[in-house]
Amino acid sequence: MFNLFNLTLKLNGFPIKKAQADFKEILNVTDEDYAKYIEHKKREIVEFHLKNNTFYKNLAEKETFENWNNLPILNKKNLQKPLKERLSKGYSEKSVFVNKTSGSSGDPFVFAKDKEAHAITWASIIHRFGWYNVDFNKSYQARFYGIPLDFIGYQKERLKDYLSKRYRFPIFDLSDKKLDGVLNHFKTKKFDYINGYTSSIVLFGKYLKSKNIILTDVCPALKVCMVTSEMLFDEDKALLEKHLGIPIVNEYGASELDLIAFQNPKGEWQVNSETLFVEILDENNQPVPNGVEGKIVITSLYNKAHPFIRYEIGDVGVLDEKSTAKKPILKKLIGRTSDVALLPSGKKSPGLTFYYVTKSIIEDDGNVKEFIVRQTKLDTFEIDYVSEIELSKEQIDAIEKAIEKYLEPGLLFTYNRKEILKRTQRGKLKQFQSML
């Protein structure tokens, strides 16, 4: 079989063969030796950046590595300065892989990976998708992602899709008419798997439900679906499993890093301990015990071109008590730290609580396709929604009663029925937004 995907990486200067061999060696480190191995990699990457990266040396305010927990926490605001000021000695913008974060956290920035680090990221992705018999050189992907709408950017992505055995469904308009077209592609193409943004795939699932269709009946080649970038709620997962007719795999990643956690075939959210070191920290930046919630902070163990050391990604999560150095398990991903609602009583509540409570009521009858919740004042919220028919007074009363029960009384809501919801430039749907 002609390995076009690997060849494309190789032609772009990413040493994928070597990266896969290196990755295999990491996998072969025993459970007993793994903690020691990770400590060695952490020290190695910090010492490299203290020696070769002025940006990191200034941030750390030290010349030598002493104590891991005393190293600074790197946040997105630190990274909003020209890329050339952040690159390590010996690397230029021409010699590295350069990309931009999606900005779904509200702080987009440009980042870089050296070619070896980018190749090992791919080795890690290939390995995890391989758990589900997906082979990037052979398997055909149905892709629900955003796409640049300018001519050159659009053509570039389409070419990349062709070389990577993917067919992309642009997700900025997911009206029933467009979804009829998407379904036709599944009838005529032998897709092996689906990959893309959770909210878009869930919308497609609801469309299939409304038509009483199981996707594998029209596209029997389908094996698995990977959802990413937005929260997957349990009832949506059940809906997708039923109407796509395949296992749904939950993926948590960040373009500037790698896959952070990926659901393994046992259903556990296995954290990537091969190319990353993931910590859960409290408000004083101290590690919390497994089982305790805290902010997620990540170190990229291989990126020499650009430091991502103790990098605060903006999410809150919990590691499972049964985690080990080699196999950490993410017990819960609670969402972004920025998506917190501040209430008049002084209470802080994850914005997704509103989304969750509201969701359980307004999606019961399949009328509401999707919605977002926006906080505009301490006591005021707006709900934008897309639906066949307007929300009834009974539904609105039920929402407000539930919110009163789960959060607190006296909050004010307005409801705006929309044709479509505004997504980020990349096509993500930000489910809760605080304007405070």
Name all domains of the chain by residue range, CATH numbers in brackets: 4-336 (3.40.50.12780), 340-434 (3.30.300.30)
In the chain, how many H helices and how many E strands?
12, 19
Percent of the chain with pLDDT over 70: 94
The answer to whether residue 106 scores a pLDDT higher than 70 is no
Give the separation between CA 428 and CA 359, rounded to whole angstroms.
18
CB 182, CB 208: distance < 8 Å: no
CB 368, CB 355: distance < 8 Å: no
Choose among 416, 408, 406, 419: nearest CA to 358: 406
CB 301, CB 45: distance < 8 Å: yes
Ramachandran angles phi, psi of 280, nearest 5°: -115, 120
3 state SS for 176-188: HHHHHHHHHHHHH
Least confident of 74-88, 105-119, 288-302: 105-119
Choose among 134, 135, 133, 131: nearest CA to 264: 131
pLDDT tens-place string over residues 402-418: 888 878 899 999 999 99
Task: Give the pair of three-digit tokens for residue 371.
Answer: 């919605």
Q: DSSP secondary structure string, 16-45?
A: HHHHHHHHHHHHTS-HHHHHHHHHHHHHHH
Give the separation between CA 15 and CA 32, rounded to whole angstroms.
30
Task: Give the pair of three-digit tokens for residue 116.
Answer: 């070896």
Choose among 313, 312, 300, 314: nearest CA to 53: 300
Q: What is the pLDDT of residue 108?
A: 62
- Residue 424 banded pLDDT, cuts 50, 70, 90: confident
CB 403, CB 416: distance < 8 Å: no
CB 270, CB 323: distance < 8 Å: no
Helix (H/G/I), strand (E/B), else coil: 375: strand
Which residues are CB-contacts of 354 (< 8 A; sequence separation ≥ 6)? 341, 373, 381, 403, 407, 432
SS3 helix, strand, coil % of the chain, rounded to 5? 35, 25, 40
pLDDT tens-place string over residues 139-149: 999 999 877 77
pLDDT tens-place string over residues 46-84: 999 999 999 999 999 988 998 999 999 998 888 878 899
Q: What is the pLDDT of residue 338?
A: 56
CB 386, CB 370: distance < 8 Å: yes
Q: What is the pLDDT of residue 223?
A: 97
Give the separation between CA 58 and CA 154, rounded to whole angstroms.
39
- Residue 1 banded pLDDT, cuts 50, 70, 90: very low
**Residue 225 or 394, more confident:** 225
Average pLDDT over residues 73-102: 89
- For residue 340, give the amino acid letter: V
Length, in residues, of the chain: 436
Choose among 172, 167, 208: nearest CA to 188: 167
- Residue 364 banded pLDDT, cuts 50, 70, 90: low
Choose among 211, 145, 146, 141: nearest CA to 176: 211
**Residue 352 or 63, more confident:** 63
Give the separation between CA 12 and CA 31, rounded to whole angstroms.
35
Q: DSSP secondary structure string, 267-327?
A: S-EEE--SSEEEEEE-TTS-BPPTTS-EEEEEEESS--SS--SSEEEEEEEEE-TT--SSS
pLDDT tens-place string over residues 192-224: 999 998 888 998 999 999 999 999 999 999 999
Which residues are CB-contacts of 235 (< 8 A; sequence separation ≥ 6)? 359, 360, 363
CB crowding 62-88: b at 16 or more within 10 Å, else e:
eeebeebeebeebebebbeeebeebbb
The answer to whether residue 3 scores a pLDDT higher than 90 is no
The answer to whether residue 119 scores a pLDDT higher than 80 is yes
CA angle 57, 256, 286 (to 5 degrees): 55
Strand 368-377 to strand 380-387: parallel, antiparallel, or no bridges (unpaired)? antiparallel
The answer to whether residue 246 scores a pLDDT higher than 50 is yes
Least confident of 206-215, 243-252, 268-277, 413-422: 413-422
Q: What is the average pLDDT value for the chain, to the nearest integer?
A: 90
Least confident of 243-247, 298-302, 338-342: 338-342
- For residue 322, give the amino acid letter: K
Give the separation between CA 374 and CA 381, rounded to whole angstroms.
6
Q: What is the pLDDT of residue 261?
A: 96
3 state SS for 313-381: EEEEEEECCCCCCCCCEEEEEEEECCCEEECCCCCEEEHHHHHHHHHHHHCCCCCEEEEEEEEEECCEE
Tell me whether residue 61 is exposed, middle or buried, using C-beta atoms within 10 angstroms of its C-beta: 0 to 12, 13 to 18, 19 or more.
exposed
Choose among 235, 227, 158: nearest CA to 193: 227
